[in-house]
Chains A and B, each alone.
Chain A
Amino acid sequence: MVDILYNAVMKPLAFRNFCLGAVLCLLASFAAADELRVGATTVDITPQLPVSLDGQMALRVASKIETPLEANVLVLESLSPQNTSVWVTCDIVTIPTELLDLIRKAVRARLPRFNTRNIMVNASHTHTGGVVRANWYPEPDSIVKVTDYQHFIAEKVAEGIENAWKTREKCTVSWGIGYAKVAYNRRARYEDGTARMYGKTDGDDFRKIEGYEDQSINTLFFWNPQGALKATCINVASPAQIVESRYTVNADYWHPLREILRKEHHPSLVILGWVGAAGDQTPRPMYEHSAEARMLRLRYGEPGQGNDFRTDVYLKEIARRIAECVNDTYRVVQKEKHENVTLAHQVLDLNLPMRPVKEEEVVEARKMQEEDLADPIRATQMKRRIAWQQEVIDRFEMQKTIPNPKYPVEIHVIRLGDIAIASNPFELFTEYGVQMKARSKSLQTFVVQLVGPGTYLPTRYAEEGGHYSAIVQSVRVGPEGGQLLVDKTVEQINRFWP
């Protein structure tokens, strides 16, 4: 069992050159302000049908494509000293380590001397994209194979990076911040101290929304030599999961948002969707459902679906809020375009303490797993949930031989002019992102989550409350590791602003 866990979780990351503790990657060096060259492309990563969808416990097979899925690619280069930084956003639920490896390998095949270490790939966290995690769900013969889809994405993204690299040109950049109501903390707390993700809030035992919401939208704009908008990076602290339960392929709110922005600016505008620290957030309201639903009905003249916000109308509404914020920021900051900026990109390999599995937790995991396995239909449908429990059991066994196991993560810390970009592989609870932003010396700090395989990283308070997203099954790294992640990230950001 320990081997299974090691192969599933640790090995893909372990073969890289990391040591115990934080190790600074020296491939990228600190650079002075310099002319910026930028290449940008969009590639289509819509899977063929029928395809299984990633993000829920049960297998969902889509037979309809509602929107295309995209990977948006930005390549940045400064010349003296030569520095590159590559940012890729994919309309998928997460970035498994094997997918990142495939992307880097495919890029090396096309651009042999390219620094693939500085490729940062994030997921928009749409729950209606193709499955990208091998062995995660049952794979009927009739559907697209996960490994085939991984290779497809890797090739398309590599093609996008190659095109962006070859078409890079001298560009200017601006940064700005605005606000839009998109993040709703999805964890409700109750009188007895328990928490529930998407829990009811209209009962008399409801006490509070568990944590903070970050409504800031950090934005980057890149202009080509003719002064036209070429690309934008939009950092929203809320995942793209409005229509998360559908059996269709859908890029969620990023699709209508891209439609609005491309209509307004340029049909080929490259738009990177960066999800901020939002492990405890959702784009859907947790209370005042009727008031929100009425405003939607009046605004769009469509009947809607009562208080269900998993609708096309609500996708439009969230896209509208973000687009208005982005356009407002655009109008303000376009007067401050930067030609010469510092570009620096550091990749850190950290070993974060894993969240220990307690004996009572493994007992519970075994019990729940047995319940699923006892019913042959559930045993097939709930393969993911069974594996989810199995991982807890394996971790518990592993702890017997490795008492303080570590979880290796790759994080990217980038300086571009006055702003910092800091990645992490988790569904990071917002509080950690706020800590990074508050302690960072940069003017703005873009926190990008799911630059990697995911798993929630809850706060201590959330752990006390329990429930999905804060229980041991949902979590590989806990609050102790979360604090270390914050401290190391801030340390690196602030090194860029000595």
Chain B
Amino acid sequence: MLKSLTIPLFLVLLGLGVSLEASRAPRLYVGRATVDITPKLPVAVTGQFHLRIAEEAQSPLFANIIVIETRNGSKTSDLAIMVSCDVLYVPNDLIPLVRNEVGKHIKDLDTQKIILNATHTHTAPVLKEGEYAIPTTGVTQVSEFREFFIKKVTQGIVNAWKDRDEAEVAWGLSYAVVGHNRRVVYADGTAGMSTNTNLPEFRNIEGPEDHDVNMLFFWNKKSELIAMVIGVASPSQEIGGMTVVHADYWDSVRRMIYEKYGKQVCVVSWLGASGDLMPPLRYRKAADDRMRELRGLNRLDELARRLVIAVDEAYETVKNDRHSELPLVHKMEQLRIPERLVTARDYAEAKVSVENARKEIEANPQSANRLYRKMQWETETLRRYERQQRVRRPMYEMELHVIRLGDIAICTNEFELFADYGIRIQARSPALQTFIIQLAGSEGWGAYLPTEKAVKGGAYSAVIHSSLVGPEGGQELVDRTVEILEELWRE
């Protein structure tokens, strides 16, 4: 009797086991790597209109890489390879070259799952050809640095890929005042970027600030913390005017994290929607500076101090809420959103400005150091106008990645996205937390995506040359991102 029951019971249990296995969420695997991408000196650094040749590297530049993979048994369920780079932006033409190179080293990898984002440090080498009139000798050439970058990032991705192992993840939210809105509105309705507020005509700070610090923590199977993602809505741009190589505030953050959590921790920096934000203050600066001086800190270390407090707070709160079996879904699509149209007046003005610059450079070649970058910037507007005349509804095509990892979402864009758009996505997102990554690739220097209010106010970051896509496209980016998020959460 007992024997006759045992076999069916075994079969039932076996069946139950199979169905349990099938219904279990996939297992998380994580690998990480850090590679040094500090250039050979001297090198031209990018981010300002004038040419700067850096003779000194005051901090290393890194690419920090994390591979997040889920597996059902031994089969990859989905994956994301996230590469955070200490550069101004990663030009879109460079990304396929990295993917191609990685593809040579990792068989059968869907290299479209590789996402490269920039911390937007203004003290890193030029990565796009033709931006500045860089001397052709005695200075690291753009092509050299691009090759070096591709090689090092590929090496990092391969190392992170090999490093994959069972892991756990936790997510958390905290706050730190790092990014300040840099657009100042005056009584006549005009705006200025990083302009004065101590004036009778000052009326308001144009937009919001987002002081969220979104975090991911990863542990290996020995329960050692191996990586963390820190999402901050502020570019790494405190010392953006210096003529040196420097990772800006991320250098200080990493040093403090290594000291506190160990050198084994890979710190991945995700830059939230912050086209209108940056660390320098627009008011109450003297009070803030006094506090920092009383602490004996420089400004970079002060920003890092705030971020590390936020990290500590979140870490202590979520460190026991870890997940090792969870869904990972990585969607990628080519999103087409309307371009911002160049008006005939924009075109005419740009034409005059470009012509004047050209004449001045011809008359005085040295002035190219000062004028060339701006001239190129405006020349792009001329080209855009001419192209837009030939197309009925010109569209900007961008790579959009939307990822679900457990309860959290990760959404990318290619812009210096004004904070309002990020808040729109976060507020409407069905995810518990939504990490926005701006400058995950970029078409060009200064690809701001301003709000309608900013466009009306004008000034750098909202003028036509600064933005390839305007408020209409911005809303379409928000709507489509939210649509995909909703699909992911329905699934």
A217 to B335, CA, bound (A): 42
Given contacts A288-B173, A288-B426, contact A298 B209 (CB under 8 A): no
**When the two chains form their complex, are residues A434 and B426 in contact, meaning their CB atoms are under 8 A apart?**
no
A209 within 8 A of B: yes
Chain A stretch 327-373: residues in CB contact (< 8 A) with chain B = 329, 332-333, 335-336
Residues B205 and A212 in contact, CB atoms below 8 Å apart = yes
- When C-beta atoms are compared, the residue in chain A nearest to B170 turns out to be A298
Q: Is the CB of A438 within 8 A of B283?
A: yes
Pairwise interchain contact A335-B288, C-beta atoms closer than 8 A: no
Contact present for A213 and B209 (CB under 8 Å): yes
| Chain-A contact segment, one of B24-32, B147-155, B193-201, B341-349 | B193-201
Are A438 and B197 in contact (CB-based, < 8 A)? Answer: yes
A64-99 contacts to B, CB under 8 A, are none
Query: B359 within 8 Å of A by Cβ?
Result: no
Contact of B175 among A181, A208, A286, A435 (CB under 8 A): A181
Report the minimal beta-carbon distance from B410 to chain A, rounded to whole angstroms.
14
Annotate B265-307 by CB proximity to A: 1 below 8 A, 0 otherwise: 0000000000000000011101110110011000000000010
Partner of B428, one of A204, A213, A292: A204
A203 on the interface (CB 8 Å rule)? yes
- Given A208-B424, A332-B294, check contact A215 B211 (CB 8 Å): yes
Say yes or no: A204 contacts B203, CB within 8 Å.
no
Q: Hey, which chain A residues are within 8 Å of B95, CB to CB?
A: none
| Known A177-B284, A206-B424, A292-B173: A332·B295 in contact at CB below 8 Å | yes
A residues apposed to B, CB below 8 Å:
176-181, 185, 201-204, 206-209, 211-213, 215-216, 218, 286-288, 290-292, 294-295, 298-299, 321, 329, 332-333, 335-336, 431, 434-435, 437-439, 443-445, 459, 487
Q: Answer whether residue B172 sits at the interface, using C-beta atoms and an 8 A cutoff.
A: yes
B291 adjacent to A178 (CB under 8 Å): yes
Contacts of B176 in A (CB 8 A): 179
Given the known inter-chain contacts A177-B291, A207-B420, A438-B198, please indicate yes or no for A201 contacting B211, CB distance below 8 A.
no
What residues of chain A lie closer than 8 Å to B202, measured between beta carbons? 435, 438-439
Let me know if A202 and B427 touch, CB within 8 A.
yes
Known: A177-B291, A298-B318, A336-B294. A439 touches B199 (CB 8 A): yes
For the complex of A and B, 8 pairs with smallest distance between CB atoms: A287-B427, A438-B283, A438-B197, A181-B175, A201-B427, A179-B177, A444-B287, A431-B204
Q: How far is the CA of A204 from the CA of B432 in the complex (A)?
A: 18
Given contacts A179-B306, A291-B433, A295-B317, 16 further A-B contacts (CB under 8 A): A177-B291, A204-B428, A213-B209, A216-B284, A287-B423, A288-B426, A291-B432, A294-B432, A295-B318, A298-B318, A434-B204, A434-B205, A435-B204, A438-B282, A459-B204, A487-B200
In the docked arrangement, what's the CA distance between A487 and B428, Å? 39
Task: Specify the chain A residue showing the minimal Cβ separation from B205.
Answer: A212
User: Is B482 an interface residue when CB atoms closer than 8 A count as contact?
Assistant: yes
Residues of A within 8 A of B423 (CB): 208-209, 287
Bound form: Cα–Cα A177–B177 in Å: 12
Residues from chain B with Cβ under 8 Å of A329 in the complex: 291
Chain B contacts for A290, CB-based, 8 A: 432
Tell me the minimal C-beta distance from A433 to chain B in angstroms. 11
Among residues of A, the one whose C-beta sits closest to the C-beta of B184 is A438
CB within 8 Å of A: which B163-220 residues: 172-177, 181, 197-200, 202-205, 207-209, 211-212
> Contacts A201-B428, A208-B424, A295-B173 hold; do A181 and B291 have CB atoms under 8 A apart?
no
In the complex, how many angstroms separate the beta carbon of A369 from the nearest chain B beta carbon?
34
Contacts of B321 in A (CB 8 A): 298
7 A-B residue pairs with CB within 8 Å:
A177-B291, A179-B176, A180-B175, A218-B287, A294-B432, A295-B314, A335-B294
Bound CA–CA A202/B181 (angstroms): 23
Cβ of B78 under 8 Å from chain A: no
Min CB distance B109 to A, Å, is 32
Q: Is the CB of B424 within 8 A of A207?
A: yes
The secondary-structure label for the interface of chain B is mixed
The distance from the CB of B275 to the nearest CB of chain A, in whole angstroms, is 14
**Interchain CA distance A181-B208 in the complex, whole Å:** 14
Contact A439 B294 (CB under 8 A): no
B173 (CB) vs chain A CBs: closest residue: A291
Most central of A203, A290, A487 by chain B CB within 10 Å: A290
Smallest CB-CB separation from A191: which chain B residue? B475
Q: How far is the CA of A203 from the CA of B433 in the complex (A)?
A: 17
B residues 397-450 near A (Cβ < 8 Å) are: 420, 423-424, 426-428, 432-433
- Cα–Cα distance between A215 and B211 once the two chains are bound (Å): 9
The answer to whether A443 and B427 have CB atoms under 8 Å apart is: no
> Could you tell me the distance between the alpha carbons of A335 and B290 in the complex, rounded to whole angstroms?
12
Instruction: Choose one: B283, B318, B432; the contact of A434 (CB below 8 Å).
Output: B283
What CA separation (Å) do A177 and B433 show in the bound complex?
Answer: 30
Q: Mark B351-370, 1 if CB is under 8 A from A, else 0.
A: 00000000000000000000
Asked if B380 CB lies within 8 Å of chain A CBs, one says no
Which chain A residues lie closer than 8 Å to B451 at the CB level? 208
Query: Contacts A179-B177, A288-B426, A332-B291 known; A298 to B208 CB distance under 8 Å?
Result: no
- Min Cβ gap A213→B in Å is 7
Tell me whether B101 is interfacial, beta carbon within 8 Å: no
User: When A178-B291, A181-B175 are in contact, do A437 and B211 touch as well, CB less than 8 Å?
Assistant: no
Instruction: Report B312-326 residues with CB < 8 Å from chain A CB.
Output: 314, 317-318, 320-321
CB neighbours of B472 from chain A (8 A): none
Name the B residues within 8 Å of A443 (CB-CB).
Answer: 286-287, 290
| List of B residues within 8 angstroms of A206 by Cβ | 424, 427-428
Question: Please, which residue of chain A has its CB at the minimum distance from the CB of B318?
Answer: A298
Chain B residues closer than 8 Å to A212, beta-carbon distance: 181, 204-205, 208-209
Most B C-beta atoms less than 10 A away, residue of A211, A294, A431: A294
Q: Please state if B208 and A299 are interface contacts (CB–CB under 8 Å).
A: no
The answer to whether A215 touches B284, judged by C-beta atoms less than 8 angstroms apart, is no
In the complex, how many angstroms separate the beta carbon of B338 from the nearest chain A beta carbon? 17
The answer to whether B36 has its CB under 8 Å from any CB of chain A is no
Given contacts A209-B423, A438-B283, contact A181 B203 (CB under 8 A): no
Question: How far apart sit A177 and B290, CA to CA, in the bound complex (Å)?
Answer: 9
Residue numbers in B under 8 Å from A176 (CB-CB)? 291
Q: Closest B-chain residue to A436, C-beta based? A: B283
Chain B residue numbers with a CB within 8 Å of A216 are 177, 284
By a CB distance below 8 angstroms, the chain A residues around B282 are 438
Residue from the list B212, B284, B317 in contact with A288, Cβ < 8 A: B212
Given contacts A202-B427, A439-B200, whether A213 and B208 have CB atoms under 8 Å apart is yes
Interface residues of B in 27-49 (CB under 8 A from A): none
* Shortest distance from the beta carbon of A403 to any chain B beta carbon, whole Å: 25
A333 / chain B contacts, CB cutoff of 8 Å? 291, 294
Q: CB distance A437 to B284 under 8 Å?
A: yes
B287 near A439 (CB under 8 angstroms)?
no
